[in-house]
Amino acid sequence: MALKVKAVERLLKFDKEKEGKYRYVLSPDLYSSLDQDKVIKEAASRSGVMEGVMQACWNAAGEVIKAWATEGHSVAIPGLGTMRFGLRGKAVENVNEVKAGLITTRRIIFTPTVKLKDELANTAIQITCIDRNGKEVKRVTSSDSGDVEDNENGGGNQPSNGGNGGNTGGNQGGNTGGGGDEDESYGD
């Protein structure tokens, strides 16, 4: 299995320059959204369960995940990881300043299992390079370290193994530029 990516040469302008510079820009090549019916049909086929039963289970699981997540639970998604709701908001010094207006963003947080992160880390990446005229000029297969970004641990590239699976608390953002208020993540 390999992820397919294309690097297309495009004219980009930096720092208000008039002419711009050509750069190869990476983008997914074969990514598409799979229809729910196709996923259910495949899951039914792999499990030996009738499609109608699989559909009922799929719907019930979705309703349970939604209900429990809205109650503040981190809910396991079998074989993939956990999902929970969270918030980003500004921090204030005085309790009298606490109000709903401090919330800047509502979030859906997915924390993948180590096994899923390892699967991604071990997946080859094939890059097809296309010049500005639409001609294929090169093909590359990844030889990178396979690091998987861990958004829960500061957003940088973190090795896929080790750590705590991305369950951290505390500051997730940084200074928002407003009088020392910080962007905090809640719902951990």
pLDDT at 50 exceeding the cut of 80: yes
Does the predicted model carry a pTM greater than 0.85? no
Instruction: Say if 60 falls within a structural domain.
Output: yes
88 in Cβ contact with 173 (< 8 Å):
yes
Instruction: Say if 42 falls within a structural domain.
Output: yes
Domain that holds residue 65: 34-71
Instruction: Say if 51 falls within a structural domain.
Output: yes
3 state DSSP class of 95: helix
Share the mean pLDDT of the chain: 81
pLDDT-wise least confident of 10-19, 80-89, 97-106, 156-165: 156-165
Instruction: Say if 171 falls within a structural domain.
Output: no
Q: What is the pLDDT of residue 13?
A: 86
Spacing of C-alpha 70 from chain mean position: 20
**How many folded domains does the chain comprise?**
1
Q: Count other C-beta atoms under 10 Å from residue 152's C-beta.
A: 22
Query: CA-based angle 108:35:47, to the nearest 5?
Result: 95
Residue pLDDT, tens place only, 127-138 = 999 999 999 999
Instruction: Say if 80 falls within a structural domain.
Output: no
Instruction: Say if 47 falls within a structural domain.
Output: yes
Q: What is the distance between the alpha carbons of residues 38 and 23, in angstroms, rounded to a whole number?
A: 37
Instruction: Say if 62 falls within a structural domain.
Output: yes
